[in-house]
Amino acid sequence: MVAMCRRYALYVLSLAFPFFAVAAAQQTTLLVDVDHRPQVSLDGPWHFIADPYRDGWGGNPDHASLRGYAQNAHYVPGGPLVQYDFSRSPTLDVPGDWNSQKDSLFYYEGLLWYQRDFTWHSKPHTHLFLHFGAVNYAASIFVNDVHVCDHEGGFTPFDCDISSVVKDGDNFIVAAVDDTRAVDRVPTIKTDWWNYGGITRPVSLVEVPDAYIDDYSLQLRRGTSDQLDGYVHVVGADAGTRVALRIPELHIEQSAVTDTNGRAAFSFTAPGLELWSPEHPRLYKIDLQAGPDRLSDDIGFRTIEVQGDQILLNGKPIFLRGVSFHDEAPTRAGRAWSDQDAQTLLGWAHELDCNFVRMAHYPHTENEYRLADKLGIMVWSEVPVYWNIDWTDPHTLAVAKQQLSEMIRRDHNHAAVVLWSLSNETPESPARDAFLHQLAVEARSEDPTRLITSAIVTHLHGTTAALDDPLGNDLDVLGYNEYLGWYQGSPSDIPNYTWQNPMGKPVIVSEFGAGAKAGLHGPDTQMFTEEYQDRVFRQQFLMLQKIPFLRGMTPWVLMDFRSPMRQLPGIQDDFNRKGLVSDKGEKKKAFFTLQDYYAHMQQ
């Protein structure tokens, strides 16, 4: 270990949120397409110190300014009193949540400090960014005892510019990570999934030129089959800077110049363009250049729109054969992050003959979106506005908008993404309607090429489901969750229900299902058996096929996932058991029933 590993920076900071309000730190940025840039990985073991009493912040939690100091702390026998020492502390693997790595941290929620060393040799005329794929929930980042940035939100990436603080040679990072649940956070206090804390996605160093591309978009214009529109944004570029765009396979070379805001706009015809679809997930290599900065990406082109109660992909009606899933690691539990995790989860969806997945209830790791592009699986992508939050708090709204904006910015070049979802199962109220209306406006402003949806609670009137939640006025596609045969009624009642759609919009039944412990067998009237779950699915199909305006379904859920709400001993054991696959990778009877149903849909 180098000497830097012995340092523990004790910063006396405010407990007040948002962290990014602390004046000493720069704001974060978000570099798109980081995975296609040269990087130096900082994954691996990081030292950690759990801080349940928040001693590392210290001071008065209502004090909003940076008052503190940095302390070099290394325990030496006979030396001065030292109570914290990173060099003697254990390690956690990054990426990875702390709950699934250490038994002592399994239920831990609170503040935890990470530290690691790195070596860097700076180059002239460059910026160095410290990139985090995701940190749950709030993060304050320090490099060489300097507070460099803060971020709130547990499922979207951020980048800290550390150019001014990095040294030639040995350096160190300290990250304060806090996953405490709070009323004004997004998500809020109560969720039916595990609050995995930690640096849950990869960390890297990314070096870019003085003028660099931080964002771009290229989309197929609705109503056309070969008209592409887009932009490239360049930071640090003078107005009139030339930006080049190439699509080698189509022999296309285009150029544009930046305006005073660093934005270069593109609009051109692409003869011979093959459209992306589940049957033909065509991707094209796109090359971008602005001065010395070069980037490439793999992008597909398609249109998605609604017409009456139809969903149109490339101008043609489509039915979304889907499944919902959490970003939970298959077979080992914990937060998913690796390419292998993505291949397993989306591999199961592909095996089910899905052309669609609902990535609930937050933005998933980007490699899942990359793989969905390649496999031809359309995606519903969601922000964690979940159940009931503080609809009137301006900070909560600001954080929800921030997470929505970061999700759209990261993923707007993925052809697979067809739906942005604003929320899940929110109770009706004027305050909620106003809050989500503002999110809908934000989403359409940032990306007018995709459709907007939400998962809404189905209200039943006798045996009638009326899809009339006022939130639907702000949506293009109505998502409705229902658990007939599980939380309401018995399986035999399900086919008797009828559905009304007064808004006349396309409908996706975004959740239905039942719990089952893999390997537990019995009569199909006994809850938690595989037979009961299978019966619920079969009865659901009898009802769903009679809904004339149904345009898709994403039953709940692909795989069992951890939830502190699910504690039935010997059955749940801290897992929501509605999965078609167990947390150990065992496929239940309902998996094959859904697979058969989707296969026959195409015949």
For domain 305-597, the question of CATH label 3.20.20.80 is answered with: yes
Rounded to the nearest angstrom, the gap between the alpha carbon of residue 579 and the centroid of all alpha carbons in its chain is 20
Average pLDDT, rounded, for the chain:
92
- Under a CB-based contact definition with an 8 Å cutoff, are residues 588 and 520 in contact? no
Tens of pLDDT along 359-374?
999 999 999 999 999 9
In 314-399 the beta strands, taken as DSSP E runs, fall at: 316-317, 320-325, 356-359, 378-382
Give the DSSP H or E segment for 253: strand 252-257
69 vs 482, residue with greater confidence: 482
Rounded Cα distance, 496 and 500, in Å: 14
Residue-level length of the chain: 603
> What would the two tokens of residue 76 be?
């030496």
Among residues 440, 368, 411, the alpha carbon closest in space to that of 219 is found at 411
* Cα distances (angstroms) measured from residue 284 to each of 253, 299, 450: 14, 5, 20
Tens of pLDDT along 297-311?
999 999 999 999 999
3-class state of residue 318 by DSSP: coil
Rounded Cα distance, 542 and 482, in Å: 15
**C-alpha dihedral, 136 to 139 to 143 to 144, nearest 10°:** -110
Tell me what the mean pLDDT of segment 513-534 comes to. Answer: 98
Rounded Cα distance, 218 and 266, in Å: 8
Question: Which range, of 55-69, 245-259, 526-540, averages the lowest pLDDT?
Answer: 55-69
Tens of pLDDT along 134-173?
999 999 999 998 999 999 999 999 999 999 999 999 999 9
Confidence of residue 602 (pLDDT cuts 50, 70, 90): confident
> Would strands 212-220 and 252-257 be described as parallel, antiparallel, or unpaired?
unpaired
Among residues 9, 192, 42, 198, the alpha carbon closest in space to that of 105 is found at 198
pLDDT value of position 576: 98
Q: DSSP letter string over 115-154?
A: EEEEEE---TTEEEEEEES-EESEEEEEETTEEEEEEE-S
Ramachandran area for residue 100 (φ above 0: left; ψ -120 to 50: alpha; else beta): alpha
Rounded Cα distance, 373 and 137, in Å: 28
Taking the alpha carbons at both ends of the chain, their separation in whole angstroms is 63
Q: Which CATH architecture has domain 3-209?
A: Sandwich (2.60)
State the amino acid at position 526 in one-letter form: Q
Among residues 381, 447, 404, 443, the alpha carbon closest in space to that of 218 is found at 447
What pTM does this model have? 0.94
* Edge-to-edge strand list for the sheet holding 203-209: 40-41, 203-209, 126-132, 158-161
Residue 451 scores a pLDDT above 90: yes
pLDDT value of position 17: 29
Rounded Cα distance, 104 and 107, in Å: 8
Q: Which CATH number fits domain 222-301: 3.40.50.1220, 1.10.287.3510, 3.30.70.260, 2.60.40.10?
A: 2.60.40.10
pLDDT value of position 9: 38
Q: What percent of the chain has pLDDT over 90?
A: 88
Tens of pLDDT along 313-339?
999 999 999 999 999 999 998 999 999
Tens of pLDDT along 403-436?
999 999 999 999 999 999 999 999 999 999 999 9
How many angstroms separate the most distant Cα atoms in the chain? Answer: 79
Tell me what the mean pLDDT of segment 469-483 comes to. Answer: 98
Confidence of residue 516 (pLDDT cuts 50, 70, 90): very high
Domain boundaries, the chain: 3-209, 222-301, 305-597
Tens of pLDDT along 557-599?
999 999 999 999 999 999 999 999 999 999 999 999 999 999 9
Tens of pLDDT along 229-287?
999 999 999 999 999 999 999 999 999 999 999 999 999 999 999 999 999 999 999 99
pLDDT value of position 25: 61
Tens of pLDDT along 79-123?
777 778 898 999 999 999 999 999 999 999 999 999 999 999 988
pLDDT value of position 16: 28
Q: DSSP letter string over 507-543?
A: EEEEE----B-TT----TTSTBSHHHHHHHHHHHHHH
> What would the two tokens of residue 531 be?
């037979």
Confidence of residue 494 (pLDDT cuts 50, 70, 90): very high
Q: What percent of the chain has pLDDT over 70?
A: 93
